[in-house]
Structure 1
Amino acid sequence: MAVRTDVRIDLNAGEIRRLLYGPVGPVVRFIRSVARKVRTRAVLTCPVDTGRLRTAHREEVGVRAGRVYGFVENTAEYAAAVHDGTAAHVIRPRRPGGVLRFVTGGQVVFTTLVNHPGTRAQPWLREAMEDVARAEGFRLVRR
């Protein structure tokens, strides 16, 4: 499951005119620059073990039905579990009658189930979006 952060930017007519005709350039270029900053920040602050999560970030900016959109997401299948954390859960072998094998305290352990305590959330993508939005002067509203 991918983790995706969408940013909605509502602009009034004066801001749209300033973006379209002012020194900042077109709206699409502005949204692209914000999305790129969010992606860069997310890559730098992403938790790293093997580096696979870090390389799975992507951004997209476009126009659909007359609206400019942009998003940054992480496409690694375990990104949501890292980003949002996991609750306590039981881990069982994949095959019926199988066993789990792992090393703890320098010893190899075989068992039929493990009570996993869960993992804490590491919301690097949301934090990257919040940091960039704050730096760009946006006010974030939670819904």
Structure 2
Amino acid sequence: MSVEVRVDPGRIARLLRLRGGRVERKLRERTARIARIAEAEAPGAMGRYIDWDIREGPRGLEGVITCDHPAVTFVLNGTRPHLIRPRRRNGVLRFEAGGHAVFTRLVRHPGSKPNDFLGRALRMGR
């Protein structure tokens, strides 16, 4: 009795990359888990702006996590000390400090340290 097995690596690779296949399901699970970690690690309400998707990339399927918050670049990279002025010419800035409303024409912001919550979520989700 004789048995012959032939393995076609190209066919196996195509089978693994099929939409809805085992690899996509595992990639979907892992991407969703990392996105949940990123939501928890994000400061303030920034976690509500996090979304994820599975896309076709140059080397096959890839999980993509995005944050559409307008200040995400400043949070990820940090900021140097800077001045904050009102947008209107004779306007004032209003914010809460110590439970009281404060009105002023100029704020000297001390800057902020970088907070790479997306990178941290990726490392924690591995």
Regarding TM over 0.5, the answer is yes
Could you say which structure has the larger radius of gyration?
2
The aligned residue for residue 45 of structure 1 is 41
Gaps of 5+ in 1: 1-12, 134-143
Q: CA 1:39 to 1:108, structure 2 compared with 1: closer, same or farther past 3 Å?
A: closer
Matching of residues 1-143 of structure 1 within 5 Å = 20=16, 26-48=22-44, 52-64=45-57, 67-104=60-97, 109-133=102-126
Task: Determine which structure has greater relative contact order: mean sequence separation of CA pairs < 8 Å that are 6+ residues apart, divided by chain length.
Answer: 1
**What TM-score comes out, normalization by structure 1 length?**
0.62
**Are the equivalent residues in 2 in contact too, given 1:28–1:62 (CA < 8 A)?**
no
Deviation at 1:104, TM superposition (A): 4.3
Deviation at 1:79, TM superposition (A): 2.2
Identical positions, percent: 32
**What TM-score comes out, normalization by structure 2 length?**
0.69
- Equivalent pairs counted in the alignment come to 112
Q: Distance in 2 between matches of 1:106 and 1:56?
A: 27
Deviation at 1:58, TM superposition (A): 0.6
Q: CA 1:131 to 1:93, structure 2 compared with 1: closer, same or farther past 3 Å?
A: same
Deviation at 1:127, TM superposition (A): 0.2
CA RMSD of aligned residues (A): 2.9
Deviation at 1:110, TM superposition (A): 4.2
